Amino acid sequence: MGTLGWRKYGSDEERDEARRKRARDRHNRLKSNPNYVEDRRTTSREFRRDMRRQALTILGDVCGRCGFSDERALQIDHRDGGGRQEHAEMGARGIIRAVIEDPLPYQLLCANCNWIKRAENGEEHREGL
């Protein structure tokens, strides 16, 4: 019976340090590739776009008030307010993930309807709006 690879380290700390070193070495090798940074940006951008697209589809692909359907102006809105605080805590990706997991507290509004809703509900957070 052969020795397991992880047993060559004396402790969990040594194993963890070896894993971190391998990850750093891999990252440094990739970083030296001139296409790495741009490829990574492109992949990340596409991933975010796909997640947003999925969330918009779950919410119906049109504004819940006026029926506007151009996704460039559609915004994810919290039905009961509180979106500003949630955005500060979770970030945009976190909110999109939350929509995908449980869409009930959210709705899709176009930018105009979202601002009108904010004004009607007194949700402005800056002076003079």
State mean pLDDT over 3-19: 73
Q: What global pTM score does this model have? A: 0.63
Task: Tell whether 31 is covered by a domain.
Answer: yes
Nearest CA-CA partner of 117 in 71, 72, 70, 83: 83
Query: Does a structural domain hold residue 70?
Result: yes
Specify if 73 maps to a domain: yes
Phi, psi of 41 (to 5 degrees): -60, -45
Which of 96, 95, 90, 94 lies closest to 53 in space, CA to CA? Answer: 96
Tell me the C-alpha distance between 102 and 98, whole Å: 6
Q: What is the tally of structural domains in the chain? A: 1
Q: Average the pLDDT over 112-117 and give the result.
A: 93
58-88 tens-digit pLDDT:
999 999 999 999 999 999 999 888 788 888 8
Residue 93 lies in a domain: yes
| CB-based burial, 10-47: b 16+ in 10 Å, e otherwise | eeeeeeeeeeeeeeeeeeeeeeeeeeeeeeeeeeeeee
Token pair recorded at residue 50: 């796909």
> Among all chains, which residue has been given the structure tokens 């904010």?
118
Whether residue 19 lies inside any domain: the answer is: yes
* Widest Cα–Cα separation across the chain: 75
pLDDT tens digits along 48-58 = 899 999 999 99
Instruction: Determine, yes or no, domain membership for 126.
Output: no
Residue 64: inside a domain: yes
Q: Which residues form the domain of 59? A: 11-121
Is 90 a member of any domain?
yes
More confident residue, 48 or 42: 48
